[in-house]
Amino acid sequence: MSLHLFEIRREVSRKTRTLLAIASWAVVVLAWFLLTQWKLLPPFSVPKPAGVVQAFVMLWTEYDLLGNVFMSWWRIGQAFLWSAAIAIPLGLLMGSFRWMHNLINPIAEPMRSMPITAFLPAFIALFGMEEGMKVAFLFFGMFFYLLALVVEEADRVDNALLETAMTLGAKKRHLLWLMFRASFPAIFGSFRILYDIGWTYVILAEMVNARKGVGYMVEAARKVLDFDRVWAGIIAIGFAAFLFRWLLTVLEHQLFPWRRPLTQWQRRPLMPDKLKLAVRNVSRSFVSPTGERFQALHDINFEVQDLYSSEGRDIGEFRVLLGPSGCGKSTILRLIAGLDHPDSGEILVNGAPVTVPGRDRGMVFQKYTSFPWLTVSQNVEYGLKINNFPEQERRETVTRLIEAVGLASFANSYPDTLSGGMQQRVAIARTLALRPSIILMDEPFGALDAQTRGDMQELLLKIWGESASTILFVTHDVDEAIYLADRIYVLCARPGTIIEDVPVPFGRPRDQSMKQSQQFHELQQHVLACLKRGPGQGQVRVSV
């Protein structure tokens, strides 16, 4: 098994997940066999695996296992249909009209919080011991959970969707239908959890009084102390629950094909160019919490060459990724950093494929990432120290960089005593300390006020001009992109795609007064027009 499994928070393939699942079950079965064979577990209540297998066969051949399973499914299905028929429309109305939410929620919320077993005597008194009691008991257990979930998903529907529909003449009934369509995929995904709840309650109800069902089957075996059959029944319940859950997942894929990832383009052959950075045919998709896969990036291509000054000194470029929120800008940086991996395509840094993070690629995040238990100087020194740089070199580098970012008088201060702009200066100095070939900056000034942001832009250009690093900078601010960049890659969203490669014609050094020029204004209007363009309307293959 690959040593990559031991990388912190690294995702594993489907094949590896399957092998791990098989291995875990094999360990459980082996432990069960050994513990019962050596009589370390009470044989009266925990029988040997061989006896349970024989009992399972007996349940199938003599005790109508399938009939009992289908009866339990039928009870769950009846209760589920009644719950969905009432909870979904009622939840949509509660999510749409606050007065209805305030009217119903004071009753629904405490009912959902109470354990359903507390109501079992009441259900027996109302419905007797017959079939109606079991279905009503299940309905009560499912209904309030589903109602709360529908209300939550209705609240999450983007107001922009509703406002767009209203500008197109939608009436209230259209808006309610839109809310249903927007929230139903997530509601359907919750049916798997609702189904698990149903299994718990149906077994409890069938144990009280029933003539058929898996709960009845297990309880009948328990009464005669046939624990082989009890355990076989428990295993049968697990198989039945897993099978129906899997069927719900398949049905979810069939009902919502628009939520599947788009087909990826065939990967083009790689060119043997010697480049500082090459991102070629990169696509990336993710799996949502509901199990659906969506495509964040599609066929991303760009390259950054090594550049040299007239004196032969290696100099870097300043590239900017510009686009709306959710277009995959941050994902591109994470892929280049080696914090994530593409589904297809390849990323090369100085001719070597990116597989893991490395100190040749530094990253500055939007969030303040200074270690709170270290001082400013210790934060800047951190990367040098863990990479075993000589102590003298560490001291000189830290002193130089702290002075460069204007924090010499705060060298012994802790991060929580610093402003946001000062904390980002610490992050920049810490990144520069290792002299990375590429610096990745994920909206590092996004949380700063306008004045501080302008100061940080000036500081960044000054420090970058003295280094040999290439900067790849993420922003959604057009003015910031033009002011900082040599080239701007404009992205659209869903999936994220580069739709324009915009060269910036201004020389260096730069100052804020250039933002008042006619040339700056014209370039600003051009970039804004690019941002309004969607995929398929002038996509480009970016090359330098």
- The one-letter amino acid at 151: V
- Given a contact cutoff of 8 angstroms between Cβ atoms, the answer to whether 304 and 470 are in contact is yes
Q: Is the confidence at residue 351, as pLDDT, over 80?
A: yes
> Is residue 251 classed as helix, strand or coil in its secondary structure?
helix
As given in the structure block, the two tokens for residue 125 are 């008194």
Q: How far apart are CA 144 and CA 91, in angstroms?
A: 10
In angstroms, rounded to a whole number, what is the distance separating the alpha carbons of residues 128 and 134?
10
Which of 89-93, 312-316, 326-330, 472-476 is modeled with the greatest confidence?
472-476
CA distance 224 to 507: 90
Query: Residue 38: is its pLDDT beyond 70?
Result: yes
To the nearest 10°, the Cα dihedral for 254, 258, 260, 261? 160
Alpha helices in 114-224 (DSSP H): 120-127, 131-156, 159-167, 172-208, 214-223
pLDDT recorded at residue 169: 54
Q: Given this model, what pLDDT does residue 538 score?
A: 43
Residues 389-437: tens digit of each pLDDT:
899 999 999 999 999 899 999 999 988 888 888 999 998 998 888 888 8
pLDDT in tens, 207-259: 777 778 777 777 777 777 777 877 777 787 777 777 877 887 777 777 765 44
| Mean pLDDT of the region 330-340 | 90
Domains of the chain: 52-255 (1.10.3720.10), 277-301+318-474 (3.40.50.300)
Contacts of 255 (CB under 8 A, 6+ apart): 185, 188
Task: Show the DSSP H helices in 357-419 as ranges.
Answer: 376-386, 391-404
Contact 317, 470 (CB under 8 A): yes
More confident position, 256 or 357: 357
Whole-angstrom Cα distance, residue 351 to residue 335? 16
Q: How far apart are CA 539 and CA 536, in angstroms?
A: 6
pLDDT at 281: 92
Q: Is the pTM of this model over 0.85?
A: no
Please write down the long-range contacts of 242-247, taking CB distance under 8 Å and 24 or more positions apart: 244/73, 244/195, 245/192, 245/195, 245/196
Is residue 359 within 8 Å of 387, Cβ to Cβ? Answer: yes
Among candidates 539, 540, 477, 486, which has minimal Cα distance to 322?
477
Q: Which amino acid is at 447?
A: A
